[in-house]
Amino acid sequence: MNATPAQRAGPLWLALYFPQLPLEVFTATQPREQALAICEQERIGTCNTAARRLGVRPGQQLTEARALSRELIIRPRRRDLEQQALEGLALWGLEFTSQLALLADNALALELAGSLNLLGDLHTLVRQISDGYRQRGHDCHYALTPSPGAALLLARARRPLLISDRAELPRALAPLPPELSEHGPALRSLGIERLGQCLQLPRAELGRRFGEAFVHWLEELQALRPSPLPRWQAPEQFSRSLPLPAESDHHEALGFAFHRLLQELGSFLRLRVKGVEALTAQMFHRKHSVTEFTLSLLEPEQNPRYIMELLQQRLQNLALPAAVHEVRLQSDILTPLPSRPGSLFADITPLDWSRFAGRLQSRLGSDAIRGLALADDHRPEYRQRLTPLPATDQHRDSAELPARRPLWLLQTPQRLSCEGEKPLYNGKLQLDGEAERVETGWWDSHGAARDYYLARNPGAELLWIYRERRSGHWYLHGIFA
Amino acid sequence: MASPGSPEPLPARLPGVWRGSESRAWQRTLPTGLPALDAILPGGGWPVGALTEILTDQQGIGELRLLLPALVRLSREGRWLAWVAPPHLPYAPALAAHGMAIDKVMLLRPRAEKDRFWALEQALRSASCGAVLAWPGTADNRQLRRLQLAAERGSCWGILFRPADSARQASPAALRLQLQVQPDRLELTLLKCRGGLARRRVELELPPTPPLP
């Protein structure tokens, strides 16, 4: 084919047809050797190679297929999952063109004429796209013509033609059986066995018989009339479900399924140049209400491997009420990704720290990770605060730091026993220097004045103790470590 | 005896010549801020990318002040200091008075025992922390090896506080220090010192507490 710019004045539509999608939405998590068939209205629709080996055929009665083998798994067709999967495929298609449409029965149309100058020659581009879908595990058939309808018919007929000149269309379409189109039955009733026959019929005649819409369809097929296709817009949020091959409550099986979904999420985020800040993982049980948890990230995240690590940790700590038959992943908060300026410390970028902290948080819970901050309060235990990390307030305390403070503070002062007047802690304590009076104030319930001392025990441990003036009791409050 | 034709064996120690076995000495060190200690440590400081064990049964003898100059320096360079399951709260006013950037302090206080070890390993290997201080209680040799590997991978100064009787247990740590207290002084014994001489002793004057104004 010789695609010079002059010939490419009009659009060029690449139709991509995914005949195995009803099967593929299940096989993502299924071992290849497992015989699997999809049924619709009591008949087998599609089946995999392992099922064919057992004698299963499309169109077969369900009861007949069931009788063939106990090994065979039969699933009812899930058009909702197919739609989700097709949108995932469409999203990847947006890498090549912004003019993209979803077609009926698991097919896509991509307009490529506008992308050719950017993306190189047609053959390479089409191969790149179709190989890409195959590498993602999809059976993919394609054709490219100036008419999206003709491209779809050729793709469904598994004729991978690339046609840029509409004059070649009638010849390419001529041998196709009419059943490939939605007008199959009508054409058959006319005695038409190949599309070529009806392309030769006078259009006025056809119009009188089948209506104007039919004539338009024929003209669109030959690119004599533009095809209005609604441009597909990528959804704002990510939401995908995946059925498990068998009901399971094993973390590995769930992890495997979520791993698949996270890869989808990863390409969703890359294509939308966004990071996810919160997402919800759901696990569906047959007889229980859904188990779900939300994963919050410290910052917008795009890397599925990292999210997987967090998710895995949550899964490990999860108590499931029953086996799971389907999982779902949904993004809750997406944020456009900021550009990341390079850091001077290549090995310790702030990003790495956030990831590290995020990993800790998801396993330990956020209250197990704390930072320290000074507070404006003269009472020793309120002079510092434990803060969430990363610290949100940059409040720097200007008040002068008190002298003689220990490096360790006991979370609750420890009451000391006494021998006569002398407090004890691993032996008798020798008080060191003068008392420091701390008024703790009448305004709170802890109110009472304290006299603080440095004290040393026979083991030469240096301690910070106080005597509560009201009660006369001694307490250990800190350790000069 | 050297066989004919083979090179003569090197004398045990040539001045200024490092033997192959010694080249496994610490790759990077962090000055301790205590000249007497730097003088006896190979590379002149705390080993980075390795474990340091502090063995003592006492508290309040200067066991933290010993580390403080190096910790302060790391915090001021913007490196995180992770404290994993400390026995008490590190007290910010005192740390700040010693010059530490307290917004670089990260307290990890997992409730479950197994989470403590996990968090410690994560902190060591993360490459996010300049130093990790931990109080792991008992740890067997296999666990210690994991921690030593994690510290190597994260180029982290890992400090483990362990009871004095751990001295009898073998350890992969690069440095093991036993602490004994004398009034106003701290006596350190190098139980093990990879790439240096063990069983050396040093008496240290620690940074005063409270810090001088």
* Residue pLDDT, tens place only, A437-477: 888 765 555 557 899 999 999 988 999 999 988 888 999 99
- For the CA atoms of A321, A322, A325, A326, the dihedral, rounded to the nearest 10 degrees, stands at 0
Please judge whether A352 and B106 are an interchain contact, meaning their C-beta atoms are less than 8 angstroms apart: no
Please judge whether A372 and B80 are an interchain contact, meaning their C-beta atoms are less than 8 angstroms apart: no
pLDDT band at residue B16 under the 50/70/90 scheme: very low
DSSP H helical ranges for A391-436: none
pLDDT at residue B11, as a whole number = 41
Please judge whether A481 and B106 are an interchain contact, meaning their C-beta atoms are less than 8 angstroms apart: no
CA distance B43 to chain A (A): 23
Q: How far apart are CA B82 and CA A244, in angstroms?
A: 41
Q: Which residue has the higher pLDDT, B11 or A84?
A: A84
Q: Name every chain B residue with its beta carbon within 8 A of the beta carbon of A356.
A: 122-123, 126, 128
Which secondary structure element, helix H or strand E, spans residue A240, and what is its range?
strand A239-248
> How large is the average pLDDT for residues B173-200?
85
Residues paired with residue A479 on neighbouring β-strands, in sequence order: A408, A463
Predicted complex ipTM exceeds 0.90: no
Note which residues in 3-62 of chain B have CB less than 8 A from chain A. Answer: 58-62
DSSP H helical ranges for A324-413: 350-364
Q: Name every chain B residue with its beta carbon within 8 A of the beta carbon of A370.
A: 106-107, 109
Q: How far apart are CA B107 and CA A409, in angstroms?
A: 14
Please judge whether B91 and A460 are an interchain contact, meaning their C-beta atoms are less than 8 angstroms apart: no
Note which residues in 111-140 of chain B have CB less than 8 A from chain A. Answer: 111, 115, 118-119, 122-123, 126-128
Which residue on chain B is closest to A463 by alpha carbon?
Answer: B60
CA distance A338 to chain B (A): 21
pLDDT at residue A118, as a whole number = 67
Distance from CA of residue A153 to its chain's centroid? 33
Please judge whether B78 and A374 are an interchain contact, meaning their C-beta atoms are less than 8 angstroms apart: no
**Selection from B49, B56, B101, B36 nearest residue B74 by Cα:** B101
Q: How far apart are CA A90 and CA A16, in angstroms?
A: 10
Q: Name every chain B residue with its beta carbon within 8 A of the beta carbon of A405.
A: 91, 93-94, 97, 210
pLDDT at residue A59, as a whole number = 93
Please judge whether B79 and A348 are an interchain contact, meaning their C-beta atoms are less than 8 angstroms apart: yes
Compute CA distances B17 → A46, A333, B13, B38, whole Å.
Answer: 76, 61, 7, 21
B181 touches chain A (CB under 8 A): yes
Quick check: helix, strand or coil at residue A50?
Answer: helix
Q: What average pLDDT does the structure give for chain B? A: 83
pLDDT at position B94 over 60: yes
Please judge whether B95 and A460 are an interchain contact, meaning their C-beta atoms are less than 8 angstroms apart: no
Which residue on chain A is closest to B123 by alpha carbon?
Answer: A356
The percentage of chain B sitting over the pLDDT mark of 90, rounded to a whole number, equals 51
Quick check: helix, strand or coil at residue B61?
Answer: coil
Quick check: helix, strand or coil at residue A387?
Answer: strand
pLDDT band at residue B174 under the 50/70/90 scheme: very high
Q: How far apart are CA A236 and CA A223, in angstroms?
A: 33
pLDDT at residue A159, as a whole number = 95
A348 touches chain B (CB under 8 A): yes
Compute CA distances A117 → A7, A60, A124, A131, B39, whole Å.
Answer: 14, 48, 13, 21, 68
pLDDT at residue A388, as a whole number = 87
Say whether pTM exceeds 0.90: no
DSSP A182-211: TTHHHHHHTT--SHHHHHHS-HHHHHHHH-
pLDDT at residue A220, as a whole number = 94
pLDDT at residue B141, as a whole number = 83
In which residue ranges of chain A is pLDDT below 50? 1-7, 339-349
pLDDT tens digits, B110-152: 998 889 999 999 999 888 899 999 999 778 888 898 899 889 8
Which residue on chain B is closest to A462 by alpha carbon?
Answer: B60
Q: Are B94 and A364 in contact (CB under 8 A)?
A: no
Among partner residues A345, A353, A481, which is closest to B63 by beta-carbon distance?
A481
CA distance B104 to chain A (A): 8
Q: Name every chain B residue with its beta carbon within 8 A of the beta carbon of A353.
A: 80, 126, 128
